[in-house]
Every structure is written in C-alpha cells, then in structure tokens.
Amino acid sequence: MPLLAKLLVQRIALGLLLLFLVSILIFVGTIVLPGDVAQSILGQSATPEALANLRAELGVNDPPVARYFAWLGGVLTGDLGTALTSGLDIAESLASRLRNTLFLAFWAAVIAVPLAIFLGLLAVRYRERWPDKLISAVTLASISVPEFLIGYVLMFFVGVKLGLFPSTAVSFRADASLDDKLESIALPIAVLTLVVLAHMMRMTRAAILNVMQSAYIETAELKGLRMFTIIRKHALPNSIAPIVNVVMLNLAYLVVGVVVVEVVFVYPGMGQYLVDHVSKRDVPVVQACGMVFATVYIGLNMVADIVSILANPRLRHPK
Amino acid sequence: MKNITFAAGIGLFFTSLYFLMAILAPLIAPYGMAEVVGGVWEPPSPEHLMGTDNIGRDLLTRMIYGGRTTIFIATAATILSFTTGTVFGLLAAVMGGWVDQLMSRFVDLLMSIPSLIFALVVLSVMPVTIPVLIVVMGLLDSTRVYRLARAVAVDINVMDFVEAARLRGEGRVWIIFREILPNALSPLVAEMGLRFIFAVLFVSTLSFLGLGVQPPAADWGGIVKENSDGIVYGIGAALWPAVAIATLAISVNLVADWVLNRTTSLKGGRG
C-alpha cells in the first residue's frame, strides 16, 4: 500500500477508535457515577415504589456492560430510544434540531473564515504597527468575555437600542424563505463569528509569521518584491495546511459556542435541546446529544489532520 | 517584584482588588445578599449604585457576592487542576514506559470531547452543588495542565543534575518534588493565570445555563440569567457581569504575560 494511503487509513481508524472510546466514556459518565438517576428525576419526596418502577423502566438493574452494548447497538442503527420526560422519539426530534444547528454554524463559518484569514493577513502586513495592535487588542478583549455575554451585549445595543435586527431568534421557522431565516438569526451569526474570529485570526497570523521567517522569504524580500506579493505568492501557499488546520479546529470550537448562543437567542437547535434535557435530567437525550456533538468534533479534527497530511509533502515521505 | 511593567502593575492592582472584594464581601456589600430592598429593575440611584435586579435586590450587592462565589469556585478548581495535573504529569515524565502511555492516551481521550459537553453529560446525573462543580471543572481542566507539566518535565528529566540525583540513589518522590518541580514551576505559574480565567468563564457559562451555582446564591453567570429577560425591554442590568468578567480576565492575563516574559528572559530566551 502506498505510504500516503496508509497514513490516511491509519488516521481514519484512529478517529473511529476514538469515537468508540468516547461512547464508552459518555455511557460510563452517566451510569456509573454515584448520582442516583431515578432519585434525581423524581426528587427527594418520591415514594420507594415509584423509584423502583422508574429504575426498572430505565434498566438500571441490568448489568452495565449489557446495557452499554444494547445502547451502542441502538446508536449504530439510528435508534436513540425515547426521551424520559416527553416520551418522544429522540432521533426524530434530534434530526430537525441538528439541521437548524448546522444551518446556523454554516452561515457563521461562511462569514468568519474569509474574514479571519483576511484580518490575519492584514495583521502580518502591518506587523507591530497600529492595525496589528488594534486587531490584537480587540481579539484579547473578545477572548476575555464568555460567548453568552457577547450575545447579550449585541442583543442590547444592536437589537434593542438600534433596532437593526430581531433581538431573539424566536421568529425562526424552518420553512420560511432564506432571507427571513437569515434575518432572524443575524445576531446569533454575529456572535458566533466574533467568538471564533479572534482565535482563528491569531492562529492564522502565527502560521503566516512562522512561514515569513524562512530563508526563501528573505530572498524574495531582498530581490525587492512588494510585501503583499510576497505574502500572496510565497507565504500563503506554504501556510495553506496550517491555516486549514486552524479553520477546522475553530469550526470544532464553533460546535461548543453554538450550545450557549442557542440558549441566549432561544434558537431551536441541538444546544438548547441538550441544555433543556440536562436540567430535566433526561439521560437518554443527554447521551444522544453528547454523542452527536462528540462525533462532529472528532470528525472535524480528523478532517484537519487529513488535510495537513495531504497538503504537506514532508508527511508523505517521512524519513 | 522589581522591574514591574506598567501594564502588569494595572493588572496586579485590579486582580488584587477583585480578590479583596471577594474576601471582604460581607463587610463591604451595602445590603444583604438575598434581601429585597426596592422595586423591580430600578435605575441606578445614590441608594442603589447599579440599580436593582429582577426581583428588587440591590445589584451592586449581588455583584459583590457573585464575585465572591465565582472567584472562590474558579480558584478552588484551578488549585485542584494544578495539583492533579502537575503530580500526574511529572509522574508520567519520570516513570515513562507504559504508565506514561496509559495516562497520556487517557488524557487524549478526555480532550477529544469539548469539556463543556462532557461537563453537561456528567452534570445530568450528578447533584449540582458547589463541591461537585469544583471537582468536575478541576478534573476536566487538569488534562491541559497534565500535558504542559509532562512536556516541561520530559525535558528536565534528562538533565545532568537529575541524573546525578538518580545516581546518588534518591527516590522517585525526591526526584519529582526536589529536582524537577522547582525547575518546571515558572511556565506552570504563567499557565495558572490562563487556567484561572478559563475556570471563571466556564463556571459563569454553566451558571448561565442554569447548571452551575443555584439560586438564591449569587454568581456572575447567574446574575446574567436572572436579569436576561430585561434586555429586550432595554434594561441593561444583565450586562454588569460582562464588565466584571472582562476586567478580571484582562487583568489576570496582563499579570500572566508579565510572569511569562520575566521567566523566559531569565533563561536568556526571547519570549
């Protein structure tokens, strides 16, 4: 087998192994920990009979290993079970919410990625001068504030004081026209963009600066090329791999940001679904959501590694 | 404390201010923590410098007590994550072999899920109390400290003075705590600031989601949650914690930067 194919197969196998282990971790995290699920659902005043009934229904009396494999079999065949609190099929409710979440994350990425790369290039071009310092200061500030507060600050000033966009996403309907949908989620998109922009921009800047210190850049400088030409023709092609890596890692980061932002703007996505059911202690839903989030996260990290394997000739011919 | 820079001085000043406020909260707060003293969402006035909250409690009082809770939880979680992370990281570096492999792969596994998602999964079955929060946050965050401590210690482990200590027959505990730890301390201390900020953001996020500090106890994330309904009516009470968290995080950052620069210049490096 060619070396490149072997590396790729190895990386994909590692991803699948990781996913399997994560499923164990999520299952063990909700089952073996000392908390009594039945007691938490019914509260302190529950009668012993009610507790025993609920325990039997949850299958808490079966051996954990058997329950794990029954659950895993269900997950693999798309049967996520039913929610304890509402009795609805989890896979069904999850599918529409996952679509909404991906819609939100997609548009945030469409805006954030080009903007971050452009600002990163700008910061390198004017390194140590005021545009670079301004960008650094703004990103430091946005890293220092949690996502939900950026959300409320925007909601307060842009949504309520200026009245430019709807301040919550309650008007969002999945069957509305694209324009209406985008208008109702303009603010959540802005928040998510701000959240990932800072990280992505800093990492792009670092990746390009790293390349800028190589000898061939110095040669290009000495032969009198203009700064932007050097960046565009020499630095950028060599920093594609690290930049794609940065982008993927930040899209993975978006997955977490989405949870909080959805709660802030009352957007009917996965994150809100997860948080709701954590407070209701609906364990099957939490497990299912946890698995979906983990899968997306691990998948994006895997894509990042695969791209850097494909883009880096040195990885193709390791010594 | 010599040669402190201007930025670090400001950072240090505000950081100590916040910690003092947290420690002295019952003495400096103008009202009781859960005491209803006025109408709902009154604007700032001489009696209530920040106005009142969603059920008429003094907002400044809530902010001071909230800072106490948030800073206490974040500090405790940071201490926990540092002790576990450092001890296991140094142990992995010194022992090497399968012990190192086992612990490092387990940490890789834990870090392959976003910590917020894992925390939510765990908190769905655990009772949400302050000790549980501290343990969950501290252990999840210790994975990052573990990686740093291990990476630093692996370098130090092969140095001559460690070899000399081994040859004169010192035990593993001596090697870890007397030879390696003092030399690995500076990068770890700089990292501590970042972990502390991360813990502040993390506990605020959990409380905001309703899964952290439970009412009537105050904390910065919880204050946002309680007052968030006012935002759509143009009442900015929920934004005060943003100011508090941002200033605290930036001040701690400035101090951590200074510590890091100072320690790298000691080694003659260029940052």
DSSP secondary structure, A144-168, as one string: SS-HHHHHHHHIIIIIIIS--S-SS
Q: What is the pLDDT of residues B60-115, one digit of tens each?
A: 888 888 888 899 999 999 999 999 999 999 989 888 888 888 888 888 888 888 88
Name the DSSP class of A63. Answer: -
The verdict on A266 touching B (C-beta cutoff 8 Å) is no
Closest CA of chain B from A2, distance in Å: 28
Provide the shortest C-alpha distance from residue A139 to chain B (in Å): 11
> Mind telling me how many Å the CA of B6 is from chain A's nearest CA?
16
Q: Is the Cβ pair B113, A286 closer than 8 Å?
A: no
| Per-residue pLDDT at A304 | 81
Which residue in A140, A155, A263 is closest to B231 by CB distance?
A: A155
Task: Of A19, A188, A170, give the one whose Cα is nearest residue A106.
Answer: A188
Contact assignment for A286 to B117 by CB distance below 8 Å: no
Q: What is the mean pLDDT of residues B192-221?
A: 85
Tokens of A219: 């040669």
Total number of residues shown for chain A: 319
Q: How high is the pLDDT of residue A60?
A: 64
ipTM: 0.78
B11, B154, B193, B197 from A136: Cα distances, Å? 17, 33, 19, 18
Question: Does residue B215 sit at the A interface (CB-CB below 8 Å)?
Answer: no
Q: Cβ B118–A29 below 8 Å, yes or no?
A: yes
Closest partner CB to A152 (pick from B127, B201, B231): B231
Of B110, B125, B236, the CB nearest to A37: B125
* Cα separation, A131 vs A123, whole angstroms: 6
Task: State the pLDDT at residue B217.
Answer: 79
Contact B211 A278 (CB under 8 A): yes
Q: Specify burial of residue A318 (Cβ count, 10 A radius: 0-12, 13-18, 19+).
A: exposed
Residues 104-123 of chain B whose Cβ lies under 8 A from any Cβ of chain A: 109-110, 112-114, 116-118, 120-123
d(CA A255, CA A251): 7
A86's tokens: 């509402």
Please give the Cα distance from A113 to A124 (Å, whole number): 17
Interface test with B, best of A148, A170, A260 (most B CBs within 10 A): A148
DSSP conformation class of A224:
T
**What confidence tens digit (pLDDT) does each residue in B207-262 have?**
888 888 887 778 888 888 888 877 777 777 778 888 888 888 888 888 887 877 77
- Provide the shortest C-alpha distance from residue A17 to chain B (in Å): 10
- What residues contact residue B198 under an 8 Å CB cut-off, 6+ apart? B141
Give the gap in angstroms from C-alpha A219 to the nearest C-alpha of chain B: 24
Say whether residue A25 is in contact with chain B using an 8 A CB cutoff: yes
Mean local confidence (pLDDT), B150-160? 86
Return the residue of B nearest to A255 by Cα: B114
Question: Higher confidence at residue A167 or residue B53?
Answer: B53
pLDDT in tens, A215-263: 888 888 888 888 778 877 777 777 777 778 778 878 877 877 888 888 8
Give the count of alpha carbons within 13 A of A127, CB side only. 13
d(CA A127, CA A230): 14
Q: Give residue B271's pLDDT band: very low, low, confident or very high (50, 70, 90).
A: very low
User: What is residue A141's predicted lDDT score, i.e. its pLDDT?
Assistant: 74
Q: Considering only residues 238 to 257 of chain A, which have any Cβ-Cβ distance to chain B shorter than 8 Å?
A: 252-253, 255-256
pLDDT in tens, A28-61: 877 655 556 666 666 667 777 777 777 776 666 6
Distance from CA of A313 to the nearest CA of B (A): 26
How deeply is B53 buried, as exposed, middle or buried, from its count of CB atoms within 10 A (0-12, 13-18, 19+)? buried
Q: How confident is the model over A129-136, as a mean pLDDT?
A: 80
Sequence-separated (6 or more) residues with CB below 8 Å from residue B32: B61
Q: Which amino acid is at B180?
A: I
Local confidence band at B24 (pLDDT 50, 70, 90 cut-offs): confident
> Chain B contact for A35, CB < 8 A?
yes
Q: Which two tokens stand for residue B15?
A: 């950081």
Residues of A in contact with B250 (CB under 8 A): 140-141, 144
> In sequence order, what are the beta bridge partners of B36?
B57
B122 contacts in chain A (CB < 8 Å): 29-30, 33
Using the beta-carbon criterion (under 8 Å), do B204 and A146 form an inter-chain contact? yes
Put simply, whether A147 touches B (Cβ < 8 Å) is yes
Min Cα–Cα distance to chain B from A18, Å: 7
Burial (0-12, 13-18, 19+ Cβ within 10 Å), B129: exposed
Backbone angles phi, psi at A82, to 5 degrees: -115, 150
What whole-number distance in Å separates Cα of residue A268 and Cα of residue A259?
11
Counting residues of chain A whose pLDDT is more than 70, the rounded percentage is 83
- Chain A residues with CB-CB distance to B109 below 8 A: 18, 21-22, 25
In this predicted structure, the answer to whether residue B121 has a pLDDT above a threshold of 80 is: yes
CB of B242 within 8 Å of a chain A CB? The answer is: yes
Least CB-CB distance to B116: which of A143, A259, A264?
A259
DSSP single-letter state for residue B44? P
> Across the interface, do A18 and B109 touch by the CB < 8 Å criterion?
yes
